Each structure stands twice: as structure tokens, then as C-alpha cells.
Structure 1
Amino acid sequence: MSLGHGAKRAARKAGNSQVLTNIARIGFAASGLMHLLMGYIAVRIALHHGGESDQSGAFAQLTRLPSGPMVLWAAVLGMGALGLWLLLQASLGIGSSSKKRWARSLVSAGKAAAYFALAWTALTFALHRPSSSTAATRNASGTILSLPGGQALLAIVGMATAGIGGYLVYKGVRKKFLDDIQLQGNRADPAVIALAMTGYIAKGIAIIALGVLFIVAAIKISPQDASGLDGALKSLAGLPYGQAILIAIGLGLMAYGLYSIIRARLARL
């Protein structure tokens, strides 16, 4: 047996581990709770109560709850396990001649990186060393702009981000999320589908707004304009009927959070 086949067999065995998949489901639940809090903060911002409507703001809210530290550590464990599971799934496509399998591997690897980043952010709050997503985004944008051709590179990052948001909207409208879950065939299914559609569309619009801010930052050569998801949502509040738009996005993020919690049980793992 070649080294590559041995590694792939080991990855498949680890990916099929019942313990790992059960912990990974906690990752979906933790993500759901985070999106619920993000949506709640977005609604508060729309009503002029302030706050940060991104991952950092959500984890900061958790620290104020009586059982917040325990929930944060569960989020670290669950999101880390989910990232590992996705990374193992990505590795199973390596070496395959199928283009679709390569594409699926790249998508899984991207999702793994996102969950590892969320796990890291949750860890900083669990260790009482909170990090700001907005500051991190601005610092990263400034680093990109300082590179040769950085303006064009940041614009590409913005277009790619907006493209991801567009895909999330498409996934919600076309119900592509049904490939990710196993419905129970009961009367609750339409409610799950409605939550998923609303959530994916709302989250997609928020990510598109984030991509637009990256592009604006590239055009103006101003890292301050690339203020992360919190800045993207707050920029929506400045549009005509912005308060209503932001409330709708906030409620949509809460719908995505509820769907993610349900997905913890229904996910195909």
C-alpha cells in the first residue's frame, strides 16, 4: 500500500469516528448560538442600542451569561472538531482525478479554515484575551494594501467575498442546503426549510455588503473602510430604509442560527 493510500485510509477512518462526528455536531450548535446573538445585536444596532454585530460581539455577549465560559469552551471544542472533520473530508479528495471531487475538497478546506478561525476567536474569549474581528480585518486589509499590487489584491478579495455572499443567497433560494441535511419527513420539515432559506439569504446579503466594503477600501486605499462584518451591517443602516433592512438582516441571521442548531441533529456527517 502506498503512503498516499495509507494516509487517505487513516483520514477516512478518523472522519468516520463517531466521537469526532458527535463533537462536530456541537460545532453546528455553537455556530447557531453565535448567529442568534449576532442577529440579536444587529437588531439592537438598528434600534440605536449599540454593540458589535460580528463574531466578537456574539462571543462578548456569551461572556456575560452565567454559564457563558462553559458555553465558550464547548464552542471551541465543537467548532475545532467540525473544522477537523471538514479538513479530513477535504483530504479524501486529494489525488482524485475528478474535478468535482477537487472542487468539493477546496470548499471543505475553506469551511474548515473558517471554523478553525471561529474556534480561535472563541478561545481568546474563553481565556479572557478577547480579540476584535473589526481590528483584525482592518489590520489584514492594511497589510494587503502595503504589498506590491495590494490595491488590486484587496479588490479581488472583495469580489471573492461578495461572490461567496452571492453563493449563499443562491444556496438559500435554490434550496441547495437540502444536500447538507437529512429531513425527518414530518410536519416540521417546511419550518426547517423556511428557516434555512431565510437564514442563507440574510447571511449572503451581509457577506455581499462585507465584500463591497473591501472593494471600497481598495479604491480609496483606506483600511479603515474594511471594517469587517460589523462595519458591513452598520453600513446597511445608513441606506434609505436602512433601519428596516438591518432589522430584516438581523432576524434573518437569527433564523440561520436556529437552522444551524437544528442542523446539529440533521447534518449529514
Structure 2
Amino acid sequence: MVGTPDAADVSRAGRKAGRGARDAARSKPVRIAARGGIAANGVLHLLIGWLAIQLALGSGGQADQNGALGAIAAEPLGRVFLWVLVLGFAAVVLWRTVSSIWGFGYVGDRKKQLTKRVVSAGQAVVYAVLAVTAATTAVRGQSSSGGGGQATAGLLGLPGGQIITALVGLGVLIGGGVMIWNGWQKKFTEDQDLGGADRRARRVNARTGQIGYIAKGIAIGVLGILLGLAALTFDPQQANGLDSALKTLREQPFGVFLLIAVGVGIACYGVFCFLDARYHRVT
């Protein structure tokens, strides 16, 4: 008769599994793929920036991740490239997940280390969503639309949905503000190893990061406000994702110029992602 495993056996198995996941995430192939995933995010942001500028100039289309992925799918061999993006995003998910548990050993302050681990967990979720969205687009050959509105409708449909949606909107607004602050203070350089970068690369990295973080923070902040409005009016279409936020910017006084500026800023974030793929501490 086989005995049941005791607590010590379970603990040892758990530690072994944890070491296996950590070693896998720190392996050279995964680290290379993770850098590719960061660069892939840069491709998406370049496309989103371009779509935002087109939107400002009166063109139709969807200026968000779905729109960017749909633009890729429409190109020759676009669906093949989407599967490459899926692999890169999946590698980032593994790396970020492990970093949220064991990462940032180079940070001396325990509170800051904990904060970075929480942010890393959030990034794992973001890249997981990107991976699923890219895979869905690759299978269908086209992107879905209205995802943001459907998600907001789902929140509003929950018990206490208006309060939940308002709190989510507040969190998104605060997140946008934090992103603007991090961009202004160049906090993103804390997770980069710029030891081998020359002066020109450092300057481009700093400027594109600052402009990109601030532009994304503005767009995310507007999305948070729209979520609050959706909660107040009980109308999920008020907050249909990043696309709604950018269209709201266009409708403001001097909105065309504002949206062009934000579009250029988001494209700068895309350029920054290429540099970040080279210099980010992927350990």
C-alpha cells in the first residue's frame, strides 16, 4: 500500500517546482524570447501611434491593440508574424511571473522591491492578454472590436457594478498619473542596465521613455475618467478601451493637435520598447 505524502514531501515538491519555473524563466532561450516580446510591444505601439495620428486626421479605424493587431493580420504573412508575437508575449509572461515572486534582487529597499514585484505581476497579466488577443487575431485573420465596452458592461452587470466600475476607473486614473510621474522622473531607467550604452543611446532611451510614458499616461488617465463616466451613466460604451480614450481626446478643443501629439508620444514609447528590449534587466 502506497503511503500518502506528508507535509514535508509536499513542501519539497513545491520548492522543486518553484526552482524549475525560476530556472526556466532565467534560461537563455526564454530571456532572448522575452526581449523579443518587449520589442514586439514596441511594434504594437508604433502601429497604435500611427493609427492615433490617422484618427486625428479624420481616418476611421480602431486606434488600440486590436486595431494594431488587425493591421498586422491584413498584411501578407501577417498571421505568421502574429504567432511570432504570441511566442514573445508568452515568454514575457513567464519571465514577469517569476520576477513577481523572486525578482529584483538588485533593489536594496524591500518596500521598493515589493512594489516592483507587484508591478511585474500586473505586467504578466497585460502580456497574457496581449498573447491571447494576438493568438485570437491570428486564428480569425482579423481583430475583434468592442472588447473594452464588453468588459465594462460585464463590470456594470455585477452586483454593485457601478461602484466596482468607478473604483476600477479610479485605479486606472491613478495608474495613468503614476505612469506620467515615472516618465517625468525617468524611473524606468532603474530596471535597465545601461552600462554598455554610449551617450547617444542613453539620451535617446531617456527622451523616448519620457515622452512615451507621459503620452501613454495621458491616454490611460482619460480611459480612467471614461470608466468613471460609464459608472455614473450606466453606459458601457462610454469606456470602450483605449480607442474611446483617444477619440475623446480628439473631441476636445484643439483635440486634433492634442491627439497627434499623443500619437507621436505613443510611437515614441514604441521606439523606447526597442531600446528597453536591449537594456532591460532580464534576469
| 1:127 counterpart letter in structure 2 | V
Aligned to 1:248: 261
Contact 1:80 1:116 in 2 (8 A): yes
From 174, 182, 186, give the equivalent of 1:171. Answer: 182
Matches within 5 A, 1:42-57: 42-57=52-67
The alpha carbon displacement at 1:208 in A equals 0.4
Q: 1:99 to 1:180 in 2, by over 3 A?
A: closer
Give the alignment partner of residue 217 of structure 2, picking from 204, 209, 221.
Answer: 204
For 1:122, the equivalent position in structure 2 comes to: 134
Structure 1: which 5+ residue stretches go unaligned? none
Cα distance in 2 between the residues matched to 1:214 and 1:55: 18
RMSD of aligned residue pairs (Cα, Å): 1.7
Matched, 1:159 2:174: no
- The 5-angstrom pairing of residues 3-152 of structure 1 reads 3=12, 4-92=14-102, 99-128=111-140, 130-132=142-144, 135-152=146-163
- CA offsets, 1:52-78, max 9 Å, x none? 100010011112223422321111110
TM superposition shift of 1:101: 4.1
What 5-or-longer segments of structure 2 have no aligned partner?
A: 1-7, 104-109
- Distance in 2 of aligned mates of 1:187 and 1:109: 32
The answer on whether the counterparts of 2:45 and 2:266 sit within 8 Å (CA) in structure 1 is yes
- Amino acid corresponding to residue 226 of structure 1 in structure 2: A
Matched, 1:264 2:277: yes
Measure, in 2, the Cα distance between the counterparts of 1:34 and 1:195.
16
Letter in 1 for 2:115: A
Report how far residue 185 of structure 1 moved.
3.2
Count of residues paired in the alignment: 264
- Using the aligned pairs only, state the percent identity: 42
In 2, Cα distance between equivalents of 1:117 and 1:200: 20
SS in 2 for 1:127: helix
Task: Select the structure of larger CA radius of gyration.
Answer: 2
TM-score (normalizing by structure 1): 0.93
Asked if the contact 2:73–2:141 (Cα under 8 Å) also holds between the matched residues in 1, the reply is no
Structure 2: which amino acid aligns with 1:252? G
